[in-house]
Structure 1
Amino acid sequence: MQQYKFNGDYLLKGVFNHDLIQLIDNIDKDIVVPIPVSHYTMQTRGFNQVVGMLDGQTLSDILSIAASKKDHQSQFGRRERMNRQQPFALNVSSQLIVGQRILLVDDVYTTGNTMYHAANLLYQAGAKTVKSISLAR
């Protein structure tokens, strides 16, 4: 994951892609939502590692990072991660979310805080269900 995500070895996405897509295809959902990266991360890294792993899957970018620069979770301890504020914003009208079964996808699950904030925002917007999967823990 280090080589793929932080060292920019984008071709490693293929290692995860097939199995992850198969897993997603077997989950009841209406919308697949990758956890977004900040504009800063996109500029410096050049890609969203979750979107890369899901190449070939229909995705919805209904979430964005609310702050102009989102700090990497990896630089915080558990307590700091758990006390972070809502980092996400909706890119779409909540009317498009009402009653939808949403699947959130992230690369690494550490404390669950990222998934919690994303799911909370989607439930507030009217999602019927929010499930999540991540590649690693």
Structure 2
Amino acid sequence: MGKLCSDCLRWQQVASELLTNKALYSYQTEAMKDYLERYKFLGDYRLRYVFQKRWCDFIVKNYPPKQGWLYVPIPVDQESKSQRGFNQVIGLAELLPLTEVLEMKQTHGRVKQSKKNRRQRMQTKQPFNYSGSEGEILQKKVVLLDDVYTTGRTLYHARAVLKKHGAALVRSVTLSR
């Protein structure tokens, strides 16, 4: 195992096990920040095509559906979806067979992660409910899909819900980190 990043070192102190995340790109470039601003926050849905095929190919290569992996996108709240017109993760992953089993607890009026600092993100309470059928993910291998891994808080919350409902193994793939 290689050297752990600062986020992993923090998670090692509070989580029962580290979440394995694979990211295709670095978020620390101006080009990626600009892309996500335009795609996610300004709602330019056509921009999903820029990375869609490469990201989906990356996911399938690392977690082949023939090996039983389920692809679970991180949901967005209704307010974000109505403002933007789409879930940015589902837009990027629409070439994959998605298993949508998570939903937001609070659909309106929540403070978005992008508006919080690191400390505030880490203090975020569990935002997800399980919305799948009983046994849908029981003893299954799951890959969580999200656009950006910043602190990992969102993905760790999602993993907790999936594990509680019987997922055997949970990994994650993000477009950028």
Aligned to 1:84: 124
Give the drift of 1:32.
Answer: 0.3
| Alignment match of 1:56 (pick from 87, 95, 98) | 95
Which whole-Å deviations, capped at 9, do the CAs of 1:62-110 have from their partners, x for residues lacking one?
A: 0000112242101011111101110000112341111010000000110
Taking structure 1 as the reference length, the TM-score comes to 0.95
2:49 is aligned to 14
Stretches of 4+ aligned residues off by more than 3 angstroms: none
Q: C-alpha distance in 2, partners of 1:121/1:115?
A: 10
Which of 116, 127, 130 pairs up with 2:170?
A: 130
The number of residues matched between the two structures is 137
Q: 1:74 aligns with which of 114, 130, 150?
A: 114
Unaligned runs of 5+ in 2: 1-35
Extract unaligned runs of 5+ from structure 1.
none
> In 2, distance between residues paired with 1:49 and 1:115?
16
Let me know the Cα RMSD of the aligned residues.
1.1
Q: Contact 1:94/1:126 (CA < 8 Å) preserved in 2?
A: no
1:94-109 correspondence to structure 2 within 5 Å: 94-109=134-149
> Percent identity of the aligned residues?
39
Relative contact order (C-alpha < 8 Å, sep 6+): which is higher? 2
Distance 2:173 2:124 in 1: 21
